[in-house]
């Protein structure tokens, strides 16, 4: 895969209005999330509808709680490994909310200003699929190539940057396996430093 003008070439594009310009020309953090709508159910267009402000609050009782919410992510990786992109990477998606991250000794807030948000279709307790891990590794390597400030030490979960509010991608996400696969693919030369 390649990134062209902020878009992942092989991703299906579903542009979201829930984005704006980054205040600085910085992309230096990757935040992983999980999402399923309704909770625990996979497939369908509900996530796309949420990120494009078209979610029908009457389609499911849970959706009433999301009414009026304006959120997005840069990318969704479905259970099948399909990528759906909502916001070009150089723009600010609205995914991390109130959050903070230690960048070395410096505590940073307003993470959306410099972070890329990737949603994995899933929840905190159900295993993610092999296709999702494979696609996430591929996308991450592409992002490393496009944004030199990114590396494996600059990947975190929503739970780590907003621990009192969020728990995703949760204990079901195998961080060790993801980093092992990422390292193996880097070692195999699938990324140019």
What residues are annotated to the active site? Answer: 119
Torsion angles phi and psi, residue 124, rounded to 5: -70, -15
> In sequence order, which residues have a C-beta less than 8 Å from that of residue 165 and are 6 or more positions away?
97, 98
**In whole angstroms, what is the distance from residue 114 CA to residue 3 CA?**
17
CA distances from 66 to 4, 81, 183, 187 (A): 32, 26, 38, 43
Beta strand 12-13 with 115-121 is unpaired
Please report where in the chains the tokens 């990134």 appear, as a residue. Answer: 3
Residue 56, burial from CB neighbour count under 10 angstroms (0-12, 13-18, 19+): exposed
**In whole angstroms, what is the distance from residue 50 CA to residue 178 CA?**
27
């Amino acid at each position: 895969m390649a990134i062209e003008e902020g878009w992942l070439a092989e991703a299906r594009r579903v542009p979201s209005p829930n984005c704006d310009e980054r205040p600085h020309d910085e992309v230096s953090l990757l935040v992983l999330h999980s999402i399923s709508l309704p909770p625990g159910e996979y497939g369908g267009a509900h996530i796309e509808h949420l990120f494009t402000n078209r979610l029908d609050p009457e389609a499911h009782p849970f959706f009433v709680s999301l009414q009026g919410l304006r959120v997005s992510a840069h990318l969704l990786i479905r259970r099948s490994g399909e990528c759906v992109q909502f916001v070009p990477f150089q723009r600010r998606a609205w995914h991390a909310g109130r959050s903070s991250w230690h960048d070395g000794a410096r505590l940073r807030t307003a993470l959306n200003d410099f972070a890329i948000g990737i949603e994995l279709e899933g929840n905190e307790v159900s295993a993610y699929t092999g296709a999702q891990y494979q696609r996430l590794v591929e996308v991450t390597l592409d992002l490393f190539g496009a944004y030199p400030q990114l590396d494996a030490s600059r990947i975190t979960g929503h739970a780590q940057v907003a621990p009192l509010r969020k728990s995703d991608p949760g204990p079901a996400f195998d961080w060790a396996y993801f980093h092992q696969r990422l390292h193996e693919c880097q070692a195999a030369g699938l990324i140019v430093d």
